[in-house]
């Protein structure tokens, strides 16, 4: 008995995490696509989708932007839209690893956008390209600071008063939305409004002041899409986040707080400090996401309606983070994947479906991502097809589900 006990434990501690996590994610994706395909088949029987072709639709699902009429443009846009999603996913992921649920990403996203645009739209650099770049960098820095401060509101209230960060964040989301429209409705800032363009509900784009995100030729490469260097920034920052969480002492203490705040306190780790840093960082990331998106010279924001609708990127970031299992580098791919499926969705229109079918698939995949323990168990059982395996997978499950050790007990 002792021997098989040891074997079982070795199985569990085996490189279970890296490869099985990936395997589990792939299973989620596969089942999600399958479900989507089934829905498309059923939908094609309805009269309203008489000309829908499910087989072609499946092909389109896999092809992302590559079935569009203008492939390069669609691809470039897809990558561009990934940028804010990477940032908001990172924002949620970093906070979650520290034990906090950052549902305030939309508000931080808006605060970052607001400050970035305030900077970028108020200084004219149309005649000085170098100045334009400096102002752009300044706008990003201010956006990050704004995000930090906005993230610190739920952070500080949690750290010092023990107030649940979810409720504070929900409040700050709506406060931010209202502040945003309020600020840009002020008379002194009316010069930022797109009055000459006849779209007075919108702000000007940064192309009007020359402070927009440079694209270093990417735009021309992708047939005039929105793609700019923001994607490089996103990837670099994602890597930095990964290094922070896994290779630094600060990341070690943040994760300790997230895994067991009692133990962290006992060991002298200042959990208040870690909560503040995590929420500040999360706020900065979300703020940067918003800033980078709207600093693009081609993107405009309808400021008048901001107070009514929270930015979708803030909430999809939660999905991205979970899909990535809160691993910063995986966030890049999770965000890219979500945007890829979205691009597929848009192109589905040309085979008779509508673009929301893709959203269903993403939602199903996220749902299945919650079953990761179950899938991992299945994979381990499949890998070791012997008596120990059943024990292994159920032991694995038991251990993953908050352990089966009692207080002070031996097994």
Partner 1 sequence: MEEKPQYVIEMRNIVKDFPGIRANDHINLQLKKGEIHSLLGENGAGKSTLMSVLFGLYQPDEGAIYKDGKEVHIKSPNDATALHIGMVHQHFMLVECFSVLDNIILGDEDSHGGWVTKKKARAKCEELMKKYGLEVDLNAKVSDISVGMQQRTEILKMLYRDNDILIFDEPTAVLTPQEIENLMKTMKNMAREGKSILFISHKLNEIMEVADTCTVLRKGKCIGTIATKDTNQQKLAEMMVGREVHFTVPKADAKPGKEVLNVSHLFVKNPYTHKETVKDVSFKVHSGEIVCIAGIEGNGQTELVNAITGLENVKKGNVVLNNIDVTKKSIFTKIKNGMSHIPEDRQKYGLVLDYNIQQNMVIEQYRDKKFSNHGWINFKKRKEYSDQLIKLYDIRTSQGSETITRSMSGGNQQKVIVGRELDKNHSLLVAVQPTRGLDVGAVESIHKKIIADRDKGSAVLLVSLELEEVMNLADKILVMYEGEIVGSFDPKNVTIPELGLYMAGAKRMKVDENGNSLGEGVEKEVATLVEGGHKNEEIK
Partner 2 sequence: MSATFILHQTILCMIPLMIVALAGAFSEHSGIINLGLDGEMIFGAFIGCIFCRFMVNGNVLGANTATNQWLYILGMLIGAASGCIFSLLLSFAAIKMKADQTIGGTALNMLAPALVSTFGLMFFNSERITSGGSFQLSTSTYTNAGLTGFVDAINNNSLLDFLFNGIYTSTYIIIILFIFLAIWLYKSKTGTHIRACGEHPQAAASVGINVEKMRYLGTSISGALAGLGGFIYIATQTGTEAENSVGGLGFLALAIMIFGNWNPLWIGLGSLLFGFLKSLAVVYNTIPLLKNLPLPMYFYNLLPYAIVLIVLIMTRKKSGCPKAEGIPYEVGQR
Q: Specify whether the CB–CB gap between 113 and 301 falls below 8 A.
A: yes
Give the x/- contact pattern for partner 2 in 216-255, rule: CB under 8 A. ----------------------------------------
Q: Which residues contact 16 (CB under 8 A, 6 or more apart)?
A: 376, 380, 396
Q: Considering the complex, what minimum distance in angstroms separates the CB of residue 398 from partner 1?
A: 7
Rounded CA-CA distance 299/119 in Å is: 16
Rounded CA-CA distance 87/68 in Å is: 26
For 317, the 3-state DSSP assignment is: helix
Rounded CA-CA distance 102/169 in Å is: 7
Residue 267 touches which member of partner 1, partner 2, none, C-beta under 5-8 Å by kind:
partner 1
Where in 336-355 is the site for partner 2 (CB under 8 A)? 354
Using CB under 8 A, which of 45, 182, 191, 382 touches partner 2?
A: 182
Counting beta carbons within 10 angstroms of the beta carbon of residue 272, is it exposed (0 to 12), middle (13 to 18) or buried (19 or more)? Answer: middle
Q: Which residues contact 13 (CB under 8 A, 6 or more apart)?
A: none
**Inter-CA distances, 343 with 67, 222, 242, 296, Å:** 9, 15, 27, 20
Using CB under 8 A, which of 118, 141, 166, 269 touches partner 2?
A: 166
Q: Under the rule (CB under 8 A), what is the footprint of partner 1?
A: 1, 4-10, 12-13, 247-250, 252-253, 256, 259-260, 262-270, 388, 391-392, 394-395, 398-399, 403, 405-411
Q: Considering the complex, what minimum distance in angstroms separates the CB of residue 9 from partner 2?
A: 19
Q: Specify whether the CB–CB gap between 361 and 35 falls below 8 A.
A: yes
Q: Which one, 57 or 280, has the nearer CB to partner 1?
A: 280
Q: What is the DSSP letter of 200?
A: E
Angle between helices 105-120 and 165-185 (to 10 degrees): 30
Q: Specify whether the CB–CB gap between 120 and 135 falls below 8 A.
A: yes
Q: Considering the complex, what minimum distance in angstroms separates the CB of residue 131 from partner 2?
A: 33
Using CB under 8 A, which of 34, 129, 163, 259 touches partner 2?
A: 163
**Both tokens of residue 93?**
């992921």
Q: Specify whether the CB–CB gap between 352 and 41 falls below 8 A.
A: no
Residue 266 touches which member of partner 1, partner 2, none, C-beta under 5-8 Å by kind:
partner 1
Contact between 33 and partner 2 by CB under 8 A: the answer reads: no
Q: Considering the complex, what minimum distance in angstroms separates the CB of residue 392 from partner 1?
A: 7
Q: Considering the complex, what minimum distance in angstroms separates the CB of residue 390 from partner 2?
A: 17
Report residue 116 CA to chain centroid gap: 20
Query: Using alpha carbons only, how large is the chain's radius of gyration in Å?
Result: 24
Q: Which one, 181 or 391, has the nearer CB to partner 1?
A: 391
Give the x/- contact pattern for partner 2 in 289-318, rule: CB under 8 A. ------------------xxxx----xx-x
Single out the segment in contact with partner 2 by CB under 8 A; choices: 60-68, 144-152, 180-188, 267-275.
180-188
Q: Which one, 59 or 370, has the nearer CB to partner 2?
A: 370
Residues that bind partner 2 (CB under 8 A): 43, 46, 48-49, 101, 103, 157, 161-164, 166-168, 170-175, 178-179, 181-182, 185, 307-310, 315-316, 318-319, 322, 354, 356-357, 359-360, 362-364, 366-367, 369-374, 397-398, 401-402, 404, 406, 409
């Amino acid at each position: 008995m002792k021997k098989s006990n040891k074997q079982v434990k070795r199985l569990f501690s085996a490189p279970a995490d890296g490869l099985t996590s990936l395997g589990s994610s792939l299973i989620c994706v596969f089942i999600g696509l399958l479900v989507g395909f089934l829905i498309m088949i059923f939908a094609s029987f309805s009269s309203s989708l008489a000309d829908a072709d499910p087989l072609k639709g499946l092909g389109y699902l896999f092809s992302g932007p590559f079935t569009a009429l203008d492939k390069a443009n669609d691809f470039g846009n897809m990558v561009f839209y990934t940028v804010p999603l990477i940032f908001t996913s990172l924002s949620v992921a970093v906070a979650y690893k520290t034990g906090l649920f950052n549902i305030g990403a939309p508000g931080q996203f808006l605060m970052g956008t607001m400050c970035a645009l305030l900077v970028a739209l108020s200084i004219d650099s149309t005649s000085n390209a170098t100045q334009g770049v400096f102002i752009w960098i300044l706008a990003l820095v201010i956006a990050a600071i704004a995000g930090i401060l906005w993230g610190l509101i739920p952070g500080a209230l949690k750290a010092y008063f023990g107030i649940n960060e979810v409720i504070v964040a929900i409040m700050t989301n709506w406060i931010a939305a209202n502040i945003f429209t309020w600020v840009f409705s002020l008379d002194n800032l009316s010069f930022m409004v797109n009055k000459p363009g006849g779209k007075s509900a919108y702000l000007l784009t940064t192309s009007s002041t020359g402070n927009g995100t440079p694209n270093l030729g990417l735009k021309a490469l992708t047939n005039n899409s929105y793609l700019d260097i923001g994607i490089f920034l996103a990837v670099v920052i994602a890597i930095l986040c990964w290094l922070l969480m896994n290779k630094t002492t600060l990341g070690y203490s943040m994760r300790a707080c997230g895994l067991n705040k009692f133990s962290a306190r006992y060991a002298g780790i200042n959990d208040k400090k870690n909560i503040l840093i995590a929420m500040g960082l999360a706020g900065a990331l979300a703020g940067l996401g918003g800033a980078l998106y709207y600093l693009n010279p081609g993107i405009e924001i309808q400021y008048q309606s901001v107070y009514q609708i929270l930015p979708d990127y803030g909430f999809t970031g939660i999905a991205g983070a979970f899909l990535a299992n809160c691993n910063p580098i995986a966030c890049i791919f999770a965000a890219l994947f979500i945007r890829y499926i979205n691009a597929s969705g848009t192109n589905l229109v040309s085979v008779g479906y509508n673009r929301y079918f893709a959203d269903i698939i993403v939602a199903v995949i996220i749902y299945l991502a919650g079953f990761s323990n179950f899938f991992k168990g299945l994979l381990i059982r499949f890998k070791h097809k012997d008596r120990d395996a059943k024990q292994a997978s159920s032991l694995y499950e038991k251990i993953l589900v908050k352990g089966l050790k009692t207080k002070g007990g031996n097994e």
